[in-house]
Structure 1
């Protein structure tokens, strides 16, 4: 699949003009996303093999946006496929034209702006924008004039950017997803939020990856917590389906005092550090409104520090234009004073590796260790988790002896590390790789759909 120039010319007939040397068989059909029409094809005598022309009537029939000037072209038998048409599904649409999905609009606009020079077409939509009767979507795109609403055919691939588990679990959405995948055979990548405990259980099946796992269990009894506190000194108790550092509690045992401490954020966002005589009392008071059956207990790690505060690392991995995993970003996160996590909303601060590890040899060693762990775990999760996974956000810790530990893996990673000025080029790389993988997946869905759906 290669990017070519596309020119829309006047004409009431369904006409395609193509460079003769670029096709192996005279095309009788043209496809864009889920739409295919028969055409009158005329070869162009030209030295260039990447200039195509279509009539206005054909562009209208296929719902190709008039702003498209570059597009990828792929031939299969007697059909020319223009694309990729990439659908981004999300929720939370508003009536504000300049911000169709509120504050998240800026991220999507930056992603969609890549389409002009990369020869792709994006459509941002929700389940309410699908026109089942004619197989089209009336969604949103972003161009020189800002956000605009337009109608396109069903896309080649769908990039899942649902913002939360609640929307993902809605019956109506699950039906939409099932229909698009099974009835229309549209590849759907990055489906589903990860369950933290399930991720660990999957990774435990792989001998190459298990070394990165701290001991973790679902909350079943006080005795498990007591035993882990005795062994590790502190543990973390957090929701199995949590995100953004919400409801993370650090529980510590002070041997000399024979006391238990719990560090957490309360409902008002205030930092708390409370002391208890017994673990049972701690659990009863701190977790009285929380369903313990949905919590997990994780081994505490004695992390490397920066200015006396614990540090962990956020890593983004993405699949590239060849469907191969790459590390696209690594940043350090320094915990805020008295916070149980390094999350920005709890006072954490983003730093580059150069800022927290000035020694070049040490920095290179840690960078390489984290990179190996990230690629290894990306491949393992792809193997054992369901769906087409193309991006993952990992939270790693490095202990005082230099060992790398996995804390969490997220299928829809947050983007808070990119607020650091030195991380902006990596933010752009993550968007570019998302686009590149969508091109790869489109090509696979056209040429070898059996590999995706059988």
Structure 2
């Protein structure tokens, strides 16, 4: 798409009748054949105003009066993409991106958004680089039937302003409680239907939903360990008869919280391992019914997915898995941003960083693992193909729009790739592309994953 990045300049014009006139560089006017001194529409997010364009030589900026800027929710100095659509006689500038975040800490302006403050600054920098503008909104400021929304943006410091409904809404609500609030649900519905906004990562995925959906695709079934929503003892008994190791995972869990490993021991008994923050806790039982009696209390409080255990590759006896960050690119297509290896910590059977896991490049993790040398060369390609296929399966089988997914994959000792789970709110700390060199990372403080978010937003907003 033909686009130009312009700097917005807001200043008081000399004559009152000029307030609806916007001044645009002559080269841009000529390039896009923008009519001058004729009524046009200027659009920023959901805000629109009737204007007329005056061409200015030796300028690449877009200048407008303060009253017009205030009406559109624009402030001075923004670097925005500009596209002219002759069919509707509209100058569209943006995209305006609204990010839904859980909360703000007003007493901590240096960490206004808590642990995602650094990511928020990084996203702001990426927007300036690629001609977009971003603001951050919390659930208490979000309402249905809105024509504007209050939010926080960076302008030498975090400031609170009112914006039009954005072109693109990015859901970074990291709690199902916030996401399921009626006002949040109504807001997401309304901005799509009333304003044509794109909302992505609009909901959490649960493990049962993912495995049931992907199981409908014949081409993906080979990636799926046997997995069911655990309903009763009979299902546990049936799965135990087929698999000597089972995982019980909270269907809405994350960061390895609440995962239970059930192992059939050589002597006929069973051991239950609980994933803790600092170490794994173990209980032994003479029989499966005895184990179920203890587990049943947890099953009443939380729904669990029961999943076939796998003989995964390991490093020094510690399991290894892989996190693929899959994002839509500037054309809207799924592509791999990064894949990293995650090696479980000592005394842990899950690899999450929150449970003591460590990151590694894929080649380094494979080289240190017990996977046969002859199988290592093909694993990275298998991981990439599998991650893309899973993202496409999620897109086709689940009724929600996603633009980034954290896909956790495992490799068994025969070199076969398996899906562990899919996360629709991937951490902004786990996804550093370790394959890049130190020099490459020092060169740019904006990670490829953050750049890709902004480029996709431009695509989604047709800018």
The verdict on a shared fold, with TM-score over 0.5 as the criterion, is yes
1:220-267 deviation line (CA, Å, top 9, x unaligned):
233332333333210101111111111100100013x1110111135x
Q: 2 CA distance for matches of 1:318 and 1:156? A: 19
1:224-373 to 2 correspondences below 5 Å: 224-255=235-266, 257-265=267-275, 270-291=279-300, 294-358=303-367, 362-373=375-386
Map of 2:413 onto structure 1: 400
Instruction: Indicate the larger mover: 225-234 or 205-214.
Output: 225-234
Could you tell me the TM-score, scaled by structure 2's length? 0.88
Map of 1:142 onto structure 2: 154
Q: 2 CA distance for matches of 1:2 and 1:421? A: 32
1:340-368 deviation line (CA, Å, top 9, x unaligned):
31112222111111322239975441110
Map of 1:128 onto structure 2: 140
What is the RMSD computed on CA atoms of the aligned residues? 2.6
The answer to whether 1:6 aligns with 2:7 is yes
Q: 2 CA distance for matches of 1:36 and 1:132? A: 20
Q: Aligned in 2, Cα 1:130/1:356: closer, same or farther, shift over 3 Å?
A: closer
Question: How many Å apart are 1:427 and its aligned residue?
Answer: 7.7
3-state SS of paired residue (2:455): helix
Question: How many Å apart are 1:172 and its aligned residue?
Answer: 2.8
Map of 1:387 onto structure 2: 400
Unpaired runs of 5+ residues, structure 2, are: none
Question: How many Å apart are 1:45 and its aligned residue?
Answer: 5.1
Q: 1 CA distance for matches of 2:50 and 2:304? A: 57
Map of 2:430 onto structure 1: 417
Instruction: Indicate the larger mover: 338-347 or 351-360.
Output: 351-360
Map of 2:131 onto structure 1: 119
Q: 1 CA distance for matches of 2:356 and 2:5? A: 48
The answer to whether 1:433 aligns with 2:452 is yes
Q: 2 CA distance for matches of 1:370 and 1:192? A: 25
Unpaired runs of 5+ residues, structure 1, are: 445-454
Could you tell me the TM-score, scaled by structure 1's length? 0.89
1:279-312 deviation line (CA, Å, top 9, x unaligned):
1211222442442771111000000111221111
The number of equivalent residue pairs is: 439
Map of 1:69 onto structure 2: 79
Q: 2 CA distance for matches of 1:400 and 1:92? A: 44
1:109-258 to 2 correspondences below 5 Å: 109-130=121-142, 135-143=147-155, 145-255=156-266, 257-258=267-268
Q: 2 CA distance for matches of 1:155 and 1:389? A: 17
Q: 1 CA distance for matches of 2:376 and 2:458? A: 34
Instruction: Indicate the larger mover: 339-348 or 14-23.
Output: 14-23
